[in-house]
Structure 1
Amino acid sequence: MPCVLPLCSPDMSRDHSVELRHLRCFLAVAEEANVTRAAARLGLTQPAVSRTLAALETSLGVRLVDRSTHHLALTPEGHAFREKAIAAVAAFEDALAAARTPSRPLRLGHAWSAAGAYTTPLLRRWRQEHPDVPLELLRIDDRTAGLTRGAVDVALLRGPVETPGLVTELLHEEARVAAVPSDSPLARRPALRLADLRDQVIALNTVSGTTALELWPPAARPTAALTVANTDDWLAAIASDQAVGVTSTATVRMHPHPGVVYVPLTDAPPLPVHLARRPGPGHPSVPDLLALAHEVTRAGGGGA
């Protein structure tokens, strides 16, 4: 039978022991599957996150996270609670936004590169066709670009979307490219294959990136990686000749850098780009944004 877990028990309703910060902490741990990364994302210490998570579990009377394995994993109760926590945090943020501005902006999140070369046409078309609803483009460095914490109404997400409880639709696919230092011999090549990078240190954005060493076939898999937390640090690592990277063609247009050259990768699979939103009522203009994004993408002219 499916696990059904109420958001609050009667005892919690009386003593108000569960607060919004507990839900935010749990969602960060659930998304990052790592207390250290969750703490960095929340701007807290690792012990503070552990205490907050433990306090939430005590209040609920259930174990939400299995700590017995090397990587944190949600228990069945944790998976059930996660969907309710996402809805609760999103509802709170929506209520605040609606109260602050009766006709509040529509918020479009992204972790990096927005909609690539389609970004400017999308923003311009929206302003022309929906002048009464401001569209805010927000870069938020996490795997759902702020969607699960209620910071945005719609998110542009690259790669597989593994967070439960989100509604997604494929917008388009982007070719992948290698990002190499501008003075590297690789920068002079017209194209590269994944195997050409096997002896390089690979810069991996473990917070919001889409590249992992598993992208390479086992026989040509690099053995060294440099972990970074955002696109700016990723670019800096490559420009300073500490590493090379793999990204999509959207980055070529959105993140030019004098110390980085982007070279086509001929054998890397394309990267899907999804439009994601939370289920249920939301900003009334979300359907209009989804329709316009598809229209702009179909019109073309955005390839890098």
Structure 2
Amino acid sequence: MTIELRHLRGFLAIAEESNLTRAAARLHLTQPALTRTLQQLEAHLGVRLVDRSTHHLALTPAGHEFRRNAAAAIAAVEHALDPDRSRRLPVRLGHAWSALGAHTTSLQRRWKRAHPETVLEVLRLDERSAGLASGAVDVAVLRGPVTVPDVPGVTVAHLMREPRLAAVADDSPLAGRATLTLADLASHPLALNTVTGSTSLALWPPGAAPTQVVPVKNTDDWLAVIIAGDAVGVTAAGTAAMHPNPAVRYVPLTDAPPVDVILAWREPVTHPAVPDLLRLAHDVVRR
């Protein structure tokens, strides 16, 4: 049989709704009709895309991979048929934390002036690929050590380097220092973002790293334990720009390597404005 756009749209609706009934209602179909559409697609591909054996519908690993390809295919078709409409859709810039740091506001304002017809959505997603792997964004800002998402067709470009800072509570004895070293932090519990952070114990020489770690899953929790005085942190300068807090003192670290910041996107691009966004991001950072 021939696979049509309705098969792709049906699958994407199921993936986004995680529910056959809601996906069918969204497409103005009956649930049995949408189920047949999914079965036809799976039969054509020879793989199972959706696990329907549990009460909670979930994509299989093959389904996650196909979702990215299907979304890119639909975006390409829509742009080819109606390029003006596709440009009116928001272009999505994902980040796990701190976006472009001190350059974020400039990027947003310059984009709005230059591209009033296309909304720029800056989205924080607490995952290593900042939404690129799941197809939730068109471009992702990633901070090192960077692992390129395991997504077909990913392209990356280096954007900038940010110096590392220590983050300590404002009533800590360390808060009054003009600069700090990694050794100054070694005797304190260390807050580590284990999901998306750029800090690890490997920053310290062997045997000299903090012995107590406070694991957290996002920037908000990371800040909370530092404000409480339960831990110190190490981060990139972008965090200080995006998360200033009177209860946190950001202090330059003199012996920590900088953090690489890269942009990542998929080819073919998932939004026609992606090249413009990449050019503007580089221009904003250069200025």
Deviations 1:123-157 (A, max 9, x none): 11111111111111111111111111000000111
The question of 1:157 aligning with 2:136 is answered: no
Task: Give the structure 1 partner of residue 104 of structure 2.
Answer: 119
Cα displacement (A) at 1:219: 3.5
Q: Is the 8 A contact 2:227 2:248 kept in 1?
A: yes
Judged with a 3 Å threshold, the aligned counterparts in structure 2 of structure 1 residues 18 and 215 are, in CA distance, closer, same or farther, namely: same
Q: Larger C-alpha radius of gyration, 1 or 2?
A: 2
Q: What TM-score results when the alignment is normalised by the length of structure 2?
A: 0.74
Judged with a 3 Å threshold, the aligned counterparts in structure 2 of structure 1 residues 14 and 278 are, in CA distance, closer, same or farther, namely: closer
Which structure 1 residue ranges, 5 or more long, are not aligned? Answer: 1-9, 23-46, 58-80, 300-304
Q: What TM-score results when the alignment is normalised by the length of structure 1?
A: 0.70
**Secondary structure in 1 aligned to 2:207?**
helix
Q: Is the 8 A contact 1:117 1:254 kept in 2?
A: yes
Q: Is the 8 A contact 2:72 2:268 kept in 1?
A: no
Q: Residue 191 of structure 1 is aligned with which of 179, 186, 189? A: 179
Task: Give the structure 2 partner of residue 138 of structure 1.
Answer: 123
Task: Give the structure 1 partner of residue 43 of structure 2.
Answer: 13
Cα distance in 1, alignment partners of residues 170 and 211 from structure 2: 23
Cα distance in 1, alignment partners of residues 44 and 69 from structure 2: 23
**Secondary structure in 1 aligned to 2:134?**
coil
The question of 1:104 aligning with 2:89 is answered: yes
The question of 1:252 aligning with 2:240 is answered: yes
Sequence identity of aligned pairs in percent? 50
Q: Is the 8 A contact 2:100 2:141 kept in 1?
A: yes
Cα distance in 2, alignment partners of residues 104 and 146 from structure 1: 17
Which deviates more from structure 2 when the two are superposed, residues 275-284 or residues 225-234?
275-284
Task: Give the structure 2 partner of residue 240 of structure 1.
Answer: 228
Cα displacement (A) at 1:15: 10
Task: Give the structure 2 partner of residue 92 of structure 1.
Answer: 71
Cα displacement (A) at 1:86: 3.7
Cα displacement (A) at 1:14: 6.6
